[in-house]
Amino acid sequence: MLTGITGITGALALGAPARAARKGPERPVNILFAIADDWGYPDAGAYGSRAARTPTFDRLADEGALFTRAFCAAPSCTPSRNAILTGQAPHRLEAGANLWSELPATFDVYPDLLQQAGYRVGRMRKGYGPGVFPQWPHNPAGPGFPSFGEFLGQQPEQTPFCFWLGSSDPHRPYDPELGEQSGIDPAAVDVPPYLPDTPEVRTDIVNYLAEVQRFDSEVGDALRLLDEHGLAENTIVVMTGDHGWPWPRAKANTYDAGTRVPLAVRWPGRAAPGTVIDRLTLLSDLAPTFLDAAGLSTPPAMTGQSLLPALSGTAAPRGFVVVERERHALAREGNLAYPVRALRTDRWLYIRNFFPERWPAGDPDFDLGLQGVFGDIDAGRTKTQLLENRHRPGFAKAFQLATAKRPAEELYDLASDPHSLKNLADEPRQTAVKTRLRKQLQNWMLRTDDPRAIDPRTDFWDKVEYYG
C-alpha cells in the first residue's frame, strides 16, 4: 500500500498503475545522484581503464547498468548541469546555455518537481553552476547540506529523498602531491593521439586520475551509508560526470573527448545486475528518468527521454543524440561564443560550426589572466607545455588540433577514427552521409525550437552576461 505518504500517493497512482503490481519495494524509490566535475569516458575500471581504480563505479555497474554511450548535452559545466536539472537541451534555456550564466526560474527542474510530489530534497557542494540564481530560493539542484550523512541523519522514515552529491573532482587545478600519493603508474596511463605523449602530460593525467579516484571513494562512502540505513534496496544510485576531461580538444569541444561521460545506474529490481547498455544516452535523460521513477509524467518541455525502457531492455534504438555549445569561457575579443551543434550516431559525428571565422579554443592574443590565451582550454601542465612548444615537432600537430580554426562542417567516421582526427566533410564519397546527418540535425533543431535553426548566426549568447 502506498497510503500514508502525503503528496506522493496520487502521483504514483497516476503514473504507473502497472508498477504498483510489481514485485519489489512498495515505498517510493529514493534517488542518489553523484556527479563528478570534468570526469570523462573511459576513465573507469568498468570501461577497461588500465590506470584508473574506480571500485565504486565498477560496483554500481556490476550491481546495475553500465552505459557505454552516454553523453553530456554540452561540454561545459553550467549548460551541462542545466540540461541535467531541466531535462532540456541547453539551447532551450536562454542564458542557461552559457557558462557562468543565470538559469531563469521559469524553467522547471526535477528536484523541485520531486519536492512538490512529496520528496525531501538536498544537495552537497557543486550543484547547479557555476552561475547565479537570484530568482531561486536556493541552488536549483537543492538546498545545501554539509554531507550526505547529515542529510540522511535527518531523513523521516516514510518520506522519499532525492539527493545531489556534487563533487569538484576532478576539475583543475590539481594537487601534484595527491597524484604522487595515488600510486598510479604514469607508464600505465593512456595518452590519446590528440595530445603529445610526454612525461609532463602523463603526470598531468595521473593527477587527474587521482581526483577521479577521490570522487569514487567519496561515492563509496555514500553507498556504505545507504547500506547502514537499510536504504540500498530502495534507492536509485546514478554516478556520472558533467562532461569530458579538461584537456585541449576535449572539454568545451563536441568531440567525444569533450562530451562522452561515464554513467552507471544501480536500481535494484529494475536494472538487472551486469546490464550493459550501448544505446545512445544523454544526461538530459536523467530528469525524465527520475520523474518516471517517482511515478510522475515527463513535462512536455523536456527533450530528454526516460531511461526506464533502456534499463529493462525494452527501449527502441535511438538514431542519434545532439550535443551543443554556446559560450564557454571569456576567450575572445568582445566575449564572443563559439557556437556549435553536433549530431552523434553510433558510427558518425557530424559537427556544424556556426562561426568558422572564430577561434574554437579562444583568440590567440586574448588573455584575461585566468586561463591565459586560448581561454577555452583550462590552464594546467599540458596546456603550458603545448603552448611553449607549439612550433616543435611532436607538439605542432596537437597544438593545431586544439586551437586552429575549423571549417563550417566536420564529419568523422568513429568506427575507424574514434578520436575525430580526420575530417571527411569534403570527401565526395561521404556526401550522402553528410547530407543526411545535416538534415537530421536541422530537423531536430527545428523540432526543439533551437534559435539557430531559424537564425544560424544569432548573437543572443554573445550578449548574455558572464558572471565569472
The stretch near Ca ion (CB under 5 A) out of 33-41, 127-135, 220-228, 350-358 is 33-41
User: In 3D, which of 409, 454, 438 has the Cα closest to residue 322?
Assistant: 438
DSSP code, position 464? S
The stretch near Ca ion (CB under 5 A) out of 69-77, 139-147, 185-193, 298-306 is 69-77
Q: Minimal distance in Å, beta carbon 214 to Ca ion?
A: 15
Beta bridge partners of 353: 340
Beta bridge partners of 282: 71
Our CB check for Ca ion shows the closer of 37 and 102 to be 37
Q: Does 169 bind Ca ion (CB under 5 A)?
A: no
Q: Minimal distance in Å, beta carbon 88 to Ca ion?
A: 19
Helical H runs in 16-109? 17-20, 55-63, 77-86
From the CB of residue 77, how many other CB atoms can be counted at a distance below 10 Å? Answer: 24
- List the one residue from 11, 77, 209, 223 that touches Ca ion (CB under 5 A): 77
Q: Name the phi and psi angles at 146, rounded to 5.
A: -65, -30
Q: How far is the C-alpha of 461 from the C-alpha of 258, rounded, in Å?
A: 20
Our CB check for Ca ion shows the closer of 167 and 213 to be 167
Q: Does 94 bind Ca ion (CB under 5 A)?
A: no
Three-point CA angle 222, 83, 140, nearest 5°: 60
- Could you tell me the three cell numbers for 209? 586520475
Q: Minimal distance in Å, beta carbon 50 to Ca ion?
A: 24
- List the one residue from 242, 285, 324, 363 that touches Ca ion (CB under 5 A): 242
For cell 555497474, what's the residue? 61
Q: Minimal distance in Å, beta carbon 370 to Ca ion?
A: 15
Our CB check for Ca ion shows the closer of 240 and 275 to be 240
Q: Minimal distance in Å, beta carbon 329 to Ca ion?
A: 12
Our CB check for Ca ion shows the closer of 111 and 258 to be 258
Our CB check for Ca ion shows the closer of 63 and 324 to be 324
The stretch near Ca ion (CB under 5 A) out of 29-37, 199-207, 292-300, 375-383 is 29-37
C-alpha R_g of the chain: 22
Our CB check for Ca ion shows the closer of 79 and 118 to be 79
Laid out side by side, the sheet with 409-413 consists of 321-325, 340-344, 348-353, 409-413
Our CB check for Ca ion shows the closer of 260 and 434 to be 260
Three-point CA angle 457, 252, 445, nearest 5°: 40
Our CB check for Ca ion shows the closer of 313 and 468 to be 468
Q: Does 37 bind Ca ion (CB under 5 A)?
A: yes
String marking each residue 359-388 x if it binds Ca ion according to CB under 5 A: ------------------------------
DSSP code, position 117? T
Q: How far is CA 79 from CA 10, 99, 153, 225, 324, in A?
A: 33, 6, 32, 31, 9
Task: Give the residues lining the site for Ca ion (CB under 5 A).
Answer: 37-38, 77, 242
